């Protein structure tokens, strides 16, 4: 899979898992939320991205517009039969995703290694 240029993400393949590393420290405001959502949609457009791990280790804050983009990603991935997992969330980011109920919809793992391993275990 060719890796497109992103502002907020880095996309790579680790085996058959599309590893999406979120590069932005703060995903704050409507503009960042829109860009983030657009980039996540581009990841889903890749046929090879059947199993997706989002790594939040560099991210300290996610605004409501970016949480909405994540919620949309989860719903679209589920509708498309894709496996999606999150990892490496700070307590602040985890608190934000918990408010919108994402932990009930997607598995959240401690770090990237645990996230990648969870795909092979399941």
pLDDT score recorded for residue 104 = 94
Contact 102, 68 (CB under 8 A): no
Give me the sheet containing 17-22, strands edge to edge: 9-14, 17-22, 51-55, 83-87, 107-109
Three-class DSSP category at 9: strand
Burial class (CB in 10 A: 0-12, 13-18, 19+), 105: middle
How is residue 19 written in tokens? 């590893």
How is residue 35 written in tokens? 């860009």
CATH no. of 9-121: 3.30.750.24
Domain boundaries, the chain: 9-121
Q: What is the mean pLDDT of residues 87-114?
A: 95
pTM for the model? 0.92
pLDDT in tens, 11-29: 999 999 999 999 999 999 9
pLDDT score recorded for residue 31 = 93
């Amino acid at each position: 899979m060719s890796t497109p240029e992103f502002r907020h993400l880095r996309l790579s393949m680790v085996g058959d898992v599309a590893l999406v590393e979120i590069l932005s420290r703060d995903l704050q405001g409507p503009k960042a939320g829109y860009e983030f959502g657009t980039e996540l949609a581009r990841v889903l457009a890749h046929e090879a991205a059947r199993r997706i791990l989002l790594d939040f280790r560099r991210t300290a804050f996610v605004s409501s517009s970016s949480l909405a983009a994540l919620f949309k990603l989860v719903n679209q991935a589920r509708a498309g039969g894709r496996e999606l997992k999150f990892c490496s969330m700070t307590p602040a980011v985890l608190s934000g995703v918990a408010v919108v109920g994402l932990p009930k919809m997607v598995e959240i793992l401690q770090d990237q290694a645990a996230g990648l391993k969870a795909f092979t275990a399941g």
